[in-house]
């Protein structure tokens, strides 16, 4: 069993695009339904959950019945505008089954850089949590080109975790965790269950695993873990499977656990 700090209560959970859509024309409503049921159960147990959810563009494609993701930024921004509403509607409908309310928060990089906007964001999130409302955060893809270029919410989930100084970040992805080699190439790749320190050797391992992938790969997740563990916030990277979050909080050795350094 894995030993967590005993006082874990406030948790950021990041959900990637590929966990809830196929990235093109389908949204996985059944997976969202299962995820929401699990989160609702944890909230009833007293946990405070902040969700950072990708999927606006994929949801826009699904809603409009398009089969191919465009490369033009203007088209992507328009799809995000359509898809964000659709995605939040699904979250709202699912959480309402458990008498829980959600609040949408769209953020850009500038919101985190400017001290006044950062404070306003913190205050908004804190009020939502105080009222028992689940914040669901996404990058403001419909207006921000920088975020579309970055292509993932790993960094945003780390920044939100720092902003609220949460007790734990869980990044849900399409692999079991950080492996000792690229699992897409090596069948004998094994998950590294615990990382005590993120050093240059680990950085190089991730560079090799990502093999030039520009976004959504393991490098951005490791960068997020590094930011947080350096200031005392543990991080877990694991797969988007039913009840994995609950298993993590029970101490089961699910995914890769990055130990806080302070």
DSSP H stretches of helix in the chain: 17-20, 29-44, 56-64, 73-96, 109-113, 115-130, 145-150, 154-164, 200-210, 218-229, 244-249
Output the pTM of the full model. 0.92
Domains defined for the chain, CATH in brackets: 17-151 (3.40.1160.10)
Task: Convert the pLDDT of each residue in 126-184 to its tens digit.
Answer: 999 999 999 999 988 666 555 544 446 898 999 999 999 999 999 998 889 999 888 77
**How far is it, in rounded angstroms, from Cα 1 to Cα 186?**
27
**How far is it, in rounded angstroms, from Cα 96 to Cα 37?**
11
**Length of the chain, in residues:** 262
**pLDDT greater than 90 at residue 248:** yes
**pLDDT greater than 70 at residue 254:** yes
Percent of the chain with pLDDT over 90: 56
pLDDT confidence of residue 122: 97
Answer with the residue of higher pLDDT: 24 or 125: 125
């Amino acid at each position: 069993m894995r030993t967590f700090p005993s006082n874990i209560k406030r948790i950021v959970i990041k959900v990637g695009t590929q966990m809830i859509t196929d990235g093109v024309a389908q949204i996985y409503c059944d997976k969202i339904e299962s995820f929401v049921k699990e989160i609702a159960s944890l909230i009833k147990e007293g946990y405070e959950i902040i969700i950072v959810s990708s999927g606006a563009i994929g949801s826009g494609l699904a809603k409009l019945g398009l089969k191919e993701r465009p490369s033009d930024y203007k088209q992507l921004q328009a799809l995000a505008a359509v898809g964000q509403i659709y995605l939040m509607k699904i979250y709202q409908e699912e959480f309402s089954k458990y008498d829980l309310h959600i609040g949408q928060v769209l953020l850009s990089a500038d919101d985190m850089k400017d001290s006044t906007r950062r404070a306003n964001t913190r205050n908004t999130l804190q009020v939502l949590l105080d009222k028992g409302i689940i914040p669901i955060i996404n990058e403001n893809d419909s207006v921000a080109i920088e975020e579309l270029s970055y292509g993932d919410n790993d960094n945003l989930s780390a920044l939100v975790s720092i902003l609220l100084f949460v007790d734990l970040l869980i990044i849900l992805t399409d692999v079991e965790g950080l492996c000792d080699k690229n699992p897409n190439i090596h069948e004998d790749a094994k998950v590294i269950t615990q990382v005590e320190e993120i050093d240059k050797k680990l950085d190089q391992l991730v560079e090799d695993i990502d093999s030039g992938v520009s976004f959504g790969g393991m490098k951005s997740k490791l960068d997020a873990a590094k930011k947080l563990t350096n200031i005392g916030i543990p991080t877990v990277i694991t797969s988007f499977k039913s009840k994995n979050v609950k298993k993590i909080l029970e101490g089961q050795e699910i995914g890769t656990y990055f130990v806080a350094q302070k």
